[in-house]
Amino acid sequence: MASNAPVGKPTDMSSPRLPKVAGIDSTVPAPPHTVAPLPGVPSAAPPSDAALPPGVLIQDRLASWVSDLTTLHELTERLIKTDSLDGALREMLGAGAALVGARRGMAVLEPADGLGPTSTIGLGLAHADLGTIETVPRGSGSYGRLLDGLPEADPPGAGLPGNGPTAPRRPARVPEPIAIRDVRTEEGLDPRHREVAARLGYAASYALPLATEEAGRLGAAVWLYDEPAEPDERRRHLIGLYGRFATEHLARLLQVERAHARVATVAEELLPSRLPRVPGVRLAVRHLTGPQGGGDWYDALPLPEGALGLAVGSVSGTGPSALAAMGRLRASLRAYAVMEGEDPVAVLSDLELLLRLTEPARSATALFAYAEPAQRRIVLAGAGHAPPLVVGDHRTEFVETSLSAPLGMLTCWEAPSVELSPAPGETVLLYTDGLLRRTGDATDRAFARLHAAASSVPRADRSDPGAVADHVLRTLLPGGLDPAVEGEDVVLLAARFE
């Protein structure tokens, strides 16, 4: 939509002005280093000639309103596509800078309930600059006053009078934005505030609370001007609308991230807190979890007469139910391993019977190995699980195991075990299917990549099972495990025999 340029004196037309975004034409002179409007965002300026006919004024005003709505729609569409707190904060900070006509800014995530997470990100500010700003006393900084001045919502049961303990929660009061038009002349500022502003080269700021009555306080955003300035009423209105929408979006992402963190914590608590120390073998494990928390697990437990039980497995499904099933399966396998660990087939047969009786709608894969480190002897059996990989100076090869269906897929499970004797200095890698599937390749291609990754372990790293595991993971998943991408967990258990 075309914008109408304001009419004025030649000197006025040549003076710097705020970028026109969504029909905004501030009367406050803008600094020469303010940002340009966001790409693709329409702009229109309201008419400044009061002598225009009423009909033309109304049409221009309506056109400006339509432009404002279009701008907000496009900005909120961009924001809603973000799926992480960090991404949403950065998008909000950039869009807000364009709306208020600033070049730099910072956003602080600090939920009022104290449950975290907390973070600070900057726009046009280096990490050292953010640290410098944080040296300003919170009571003097505008964003600090917003963070400390917003009361939390009343706890449940302490709400409206006459409703007893079931009273609804009273919404939190949202503070007004804080504009500092000129840091040098603003009253009540701490001298450190003026010193930091001079050092970083900003002269004014506009701070917006990231808060709504329902979501409470999540944080605050502040934008910095290079010259004395402040947004006019129209810009304030637009950034206020956008800020409320951004806060609600951040509140949803916050709940999702907290849920993922709780699931990851539960998963870690269900797995061994540390690996045992058994003479003749060194152990290392790497466990990467997805956003929903899968059912991949591992175990290593000392057995009588210096033996060692090693296990990896995966339970179908994701989320709390899969984690609960995984915990029950792992605990049961430990009991069966103590009773009859020398016979891995018997251990998995017992596990199959338990799964069919307690989890009839769920399947699982598992691999159990009975190791005697002193003799460098391993007896193992697998149920629908990928074969182990032996990595040494003179060979890198998969262990030939018999094909078998996963647990819970047959009325009676049983498959022959296999025996291997790793040479001194060789490392046996046990892993879950998530390691292969996270590569995104077909199964045969994923196996080939895993073999190539293990073969390329530097000779200097082969004496350390942790270094072997790290090299394999870096080679197969160079970008790491993206926590925002749905997918299976990854478990890699390495045992190096002396």
- The CA–CA distances, whole Å, from 279 to 46, 307, 310, 380, 453 equal 81, 9, 15, 20, 28
Question: What pLDDT, on the 0 to 100 scale, is given for residue 82?
Answer: 93
Residue 399 lies in a domain: yes
Residue 148 lies in a domain: yes
The average pLDDT across 248-271 equals: 83
pLDDT at 413 over 80: no
The rounded distance, in Å, linking the Cα atoms of 285 and 312 is 11
Question: What pLDDT, on the 0 to 100 scale, is given for residue 171?
Answer: 54
pLDDT confidence tier of residue 293, bands split at 50, 70 and 90: low
Are 415 and 382 spatial neighbours (Cβ–Cβ below 8 Å)?
A: yes
Contacts of 332 (CB under 8 A, 6+ apart): 350, 351, 354
Say yes or no: 246 and 105 in one domain: yes
Say yes or no: 86 and 227 in one domain: yes
Say yes or no: 440 and 353 in one domain: yes
Taking each helix axis from N to C terminus, what angle separates 465-476 and 443-455, rounded to the nearest 10 degrees?
A: 140
The average pLDDT across 237-257 equals: 94
The rounded distance, in Å, linking the Cα atoms of 368 and 370 is 7
Question: What pLDDT, on the 0 to 100 scale, is given for residue 405?
Answer: 81
- DSSP conformation letters of 131-186: HHHTTS-TTTSHHHHHHHHSPPPPPTTSSSTTSGGGPPPPPPPPPPPEEES-TTT-
| Numbers of helices and strands, H then E, in the chain | 12, 15
323 class by beta-carbon count within 10 Å (0-12 exposed, 13-18 middle, 19+ buried): buried
Say yes or no: 113 and 215 in one domain: yes
Pick the last residue of a domain from 230, 256, 282: 256
Q: Which residues pair with 497 in a beta bridge?
A: 281
Which of 342, 349, 346, 383 has its CA nearest to residue 366? 383
Say yes or no: 412 and 484 in one domain: yes
Taking each helix axis from N to C terminus, what angle separates 54-80 and 85-100, rounded to the nearest 10 degrees?
A: 160
Alpha helix (H) ranges present in 184-232?
191-200
444-471 confidence digits (pLDDT tens): 999 999 999 999 999 999 999 999 999 9
Tell me the residue type at 452. A
Residue 264 lies in a domain: no
pLDDT at 102 over 90: yes
The average pLDDT across 292-321 equals: 87
Question: What pLDDT, on the 0 to 100 scale, is given for residue 271?
Answer: 82
pTM: 0.62
Question: What pLDDT, on the 0 to 100 scale, is given for residue 457?
Answer: 96
pLDDT at 229 over 60: yes
Which of 427, 486, 414, 16 has its CA nearest to residue 263? 486
pLDDT at 114 over 70: yes
Residue 304 three-state SS: helix
Are 66 and 46 spatial neighbours (Cβ–Cβ below 8 Å)?
A: no
The rounded distance, in Å, linking the Cα atoms of 87 and 422 is 47
Say yes or no: 370 and 221 in one domain: no
The rounded distance, in Å, linking the Cα atoms of 2 and 8 is 19
We report the CATH number of the domain holding residue 91 as 3.30.450.40
Structural domains in the chain (count):
2
Question: What pLDDT, on the 0 to 100 scale, is given for residue 158?
Answer: 41
Q: Which residue segment(s) compose the domain that 330 sits in?
A: 270-497
pLDDT confidence tier of residue 22, bands split at 50, 70 and 90: very low
- The CA–CA distances, whole Å, from 386 to 271, 379, 417, 434, 493 equal 20, 16, 14, 10, 13
Say yes or no: 324 and 418 in one domain: yes
181 class by beta-carbon count within 10 Å (0-12 exposed, 13-18 middle, 19+ buried): middle
pLDDT at 149 over 80: no
pLDDT at 424 over 90: yes
pLDDT at 12 over 60: no
The rounded distance, in Å, linking the Cα atoms of 26 and 18 is 6
Residue 475 lies in a domain: yes
Question: What pLDDT, on the 0 to 100 scale, is given for residue 152?
Answer: 43
The tokens for 305 are: 């007469």
The rounded distance, in Å, linking the Cα atoms of 233 and 418 is 77
336-350 confidence digits (pLDDT tens): 999 988 999 999 988
Which of 365, 374, 353 has its CA nearest to residue 303? 374
Question: What pLDDT, on the 0 to 100 scale, is given for residue 321?
Answer: 79
359-376 confidence digits (pLDDT tens): 888 888 999 999 999 999
Which of 254, 239, 252, 255 has its CA nearest to residue 92? 239
pLDDT at 318 over 50: yes
Say yes or no: 84 and 140 in one domain: yes
Residue 285 lies in a domain: yes
Q: Which residues pair with 396 in a beta bridge?
A: 391
The percent of residues above 70 in pLDDT, for the chain, comes to 80
Say yes or no: 96 and 31 in one domain: yes
